[in-house]
A = this chain, B = another copy of it.
Amino acid sequence: MSTERRKTGNARFTIGVDFGGTNVKLALVSFIGDSFKIEGFSSFQTKDYKKDELIEQLVIRIIKLKAESTYKGNRVRGVGIGVPGRVDFNQGLVFDLTNVPGWKNVHLRDELISKVKIPVLIDNDANLMALAESKFGAAKGHKDCLCVTMGTGIGGGIVLDGKIYRGMNFAAGEIGHMTINENGPLCVCGGKGCVERYVGNRYILESAIKRLRNGAKSILKNQLSGTYLNLTLEMLSKAARQKDPFAMLIWQEVGLHMGAVLANVVNLLNPEIIVIGGGVANAGNLILDPIRRIVRDRAFQVSCRNLKIVPSKFKEKAGIIGAASLVLANKEK
């Protein structure tokens, strides 16, 4: 008991909130040195609440986690929140959220601080994933790191010299909307040939389904028995692991496009490490190997020297860990 006490005596406690399009997750996290532990957890479905109710839920649950911590004798230093959208970090102002209606120019930080009475910091979720991987995860020990999330969209967070790089309008890191073909297909963003237009979830599936319909041979055909729309990324991964040439080709193409855009980033920023996460990245080496190969083929040789391209360590937990660590990262400034 007293040993336990001593151990957490040096710990710094914070609350991390991963505000996603589907779920909102909250965690009480303790940090000692460069390790951390999740001490309490809570979550709810995003769609169950409208904006004001959702904020109320956040307040209730933050106060509860704070009380839990206080009960155990540990003061909570603050709350970090990651949201799927653009945020004025300095003002704690949420400009808008992807896939969560009703959030436009919300001064979330000030609203929360007045109720939870501890410091609150808000940032974009991709930035916080990059922070988590950089401080405690796959990029630990590296001062410059790029973190890419491959899912419905292709997002990115940049950590330079150990600090999140946000850009003038808090809009940096939009790797998904870098073009790999200036005359390519139109993207939702208004650009052309954005890499997301090739390797976003939906486009991978669309392209595979189209080719199956056009007569491509694959073991997936039997599994789907004609209902191609049921195709999932998991099925494509599984088929590729079973050496299905069609599925392998699809992943190679994804790697080819991602490799091309990451080679651009490598030539521009010469980073130490690129961390790749998100649902699409669950395909693991099916996608990481071609990415590594293409980056090495395309980018400057010297910039590839000692460059690491690795999978995310924390996967879906990166958001909450990054959010919790934001409070401490900010104090270090």
Binding site for B on A (CB under 8 A): 86, 95, 144, 156, 158, 160, 165-175, 177-183, 189-192, 256-257, 260, 263-265, 267-272, 297-303, 305-307
Contacts and interface: CB of A to CB of B under 8 A. Distances in A.
A307 B169 CA distance: 9
B86 A302 contact: yes
B182 A182 contact: no
Contacts of A306: 168-169
Contacts of A257: 182
Contacts of A300: 171, 174, 177, 189
Nearest to A260: B182
Given A144-B168, A263-B191, A307-B168, A268 B302 contact: no
Most buried by B among A158, A165, A264: A264
Report which residue of A156, A172, A181, A182 has the largest number of chain B beta carbons within 10 angstroms of its beta carbon.
A182
For A158, A172, A178, A299, which residue has the most chain B Cβ atoms within 10 angstroms?
A178
Given A182-B260, A190-B298, A260-B179, A172 B270 contact: yes
A174 B177 CA distance: 19
A137 B191 CA distance: 31
Contacts of A167: 144, 269-271, 303
Nearest to A272: B168
Residue among A144, A172, A173, A257 with most chain B CB within 10 A:
A172
Contact of A267 (B86, B177, B183, B270): B177
Nearest to A198: B182
A300 B299 CA distance: 25
A167 to B, nearest CB: 3
Given A160-B160, A298-B179, A303 B169 contact: yes
A47 B165 CA distance: 42
23 contacts: A86-B302, A95-B302, A156-B268, A158-B269, A168-B306, A169-B306, A171-B267, A171-B270, A171-B302, A171-B303, A172-B268, A172-B269, A174-B267, A174-B300, A174-B303, A178-B267, A179-B180, A179-B260, A179-B298, A182-B257, A190-B298, A190-B301, A192-B298
A26 to B, nearest CB: 29
B168 A270 contact: yes
Given A165-B269, A168-B306, A169-B302, 20 more contacts: A144-B167, A158-B269, A160-B160, A166-B270, A167-B271, A168-B303, A169-B270, A171-B270, A171-B300, A171-B303, A172-B269, A174-B268, A175-B268, A178-B267, A179-B263, A179-B298, A180-B181, A181-B182, A181-B183, A191-B267
A95 B144 CA distance: 22
